[in-house]
Amino acid sequence: MKDFRGKLAVITGGGAGMGRQLAVQLAAAGCHVAICDVFADDMAETVALCDRGVTVSAHECDVSDEEQVLAFRDAVVERHATEHINLLFNNAGIGGGGEFVDGDREAWERTFGVCWHGVYYCARAFMPLLVASDEGYIVNTSSVNGFWASVGPANPHTAYSAAKFAVKGFSEALIADLRMHAPHVKVAVVMPGHIGTSIAINSGRIHGQPAPEDLPADQVAKIREQMVASGLPVGNESDDQIRAAVAQRAIDFRDAAPTTAAQAATIILDGVRAGKWRILVGDDAHVIDRLVREDPEPVYEPEFMGELAKERLFQFAQR
């Protein structure tokens, strides 16, 4: 798909981060856009940033709820007066539910629901509209955690990683499925490394967690434990200092990332233009992909973080 002009793109998680930047760049390229998100105020900001020479619509939708996804699809069809779409970006995602053995089941299933079922439900809902087009592309956002299920040996990362592995496998399996049944529709799986988005901030909002400054003492104690286990010298820090550190980490994850959301969106759209099915985003993603492929056995050992540090992936190694 070399040219987006006059096409119609559907983007989940369009209220911020990569979803917002995909919307902005596609609209600037003359593409009509329909975004969804659970935060209406964030979507309003995205719409305001988009080129008004095209139709841009915003729809509240929790992609982990199939009924809401179907309503979103119907609203897109009505708002854009269309019987087809050309692009589907399954981009919505949240973090959380890291621990399976001794963690909160509700948080685990909420995270898995958004990150995997959101992709599945949207693919089910919008696939007939993609097939009805002359030219279509489904772009599913996985992660480096779709081939490396870790953010460090002291931080379990089970729900997000399980979902992102599922997204990767589903996307790769669609290559043959689409080739057989809808050869004019392509698929790509996107695997970003550390991208400057608000996922760390918004995940807490979606899980209904208190703001960092309001974290109760028992949660602060657990976070302190995790930080110490990761090698951070915070054992003697006060509760308020830990709360401040949590808030700052979320801000730094967004503002000090090695790849911005705008850069990530450009890489993704360039990959679509080039007809790729596998799109790695960020130098860290390329390095981790190479290391995992070269020798997968030791990648879950503490020493592997040292290998990342040698590759100058300091920020990723500190996640």
Question: Which residues are registered as beta bridge partners of 84?
Answer: none
Question: Are the C-beta atoms of residues 185 and 277 closer than 8 Å to each other?
Answer: no
Task: State the first-to-last Cα distance of the chain, in angstroms, to the nearest integer.
Answer: 35
- Burial (0-12, 13-18, 19+ Cβ within 10 Å), 29: middle
Cβ(22)–Cβ(265) under 8 Å? yes
Strand partners, 190: 141, 279
The residues assigned a catalytic role are 160
Evaluate whether 273 touches 2 at the Cβ level (below 8 Å). yes
Q: Write out the two tokens for 287.
A: 């390095």
Q: 216: exposed, middle or buried (C-beta count within 10 Å: 0-12, 13-18, 19+)? A: exposed
The answer to whether 254 touches 216, Cβ cutoff 8 Å, is no
Q: Are strands 185-192 and 195-196 parallel, antiparallel or unpaired?
A: unpaired
Strand 87-90 relative to strand 8-12, pairing: parallel
- DSSP, collapsed to helix, strand or coil, labels residue 32 as strand
Which 3 state secondary structure label does DSSP give 85? coil
Alpha-carbon gap, residue 65 to 129, rounded angstroms: 20
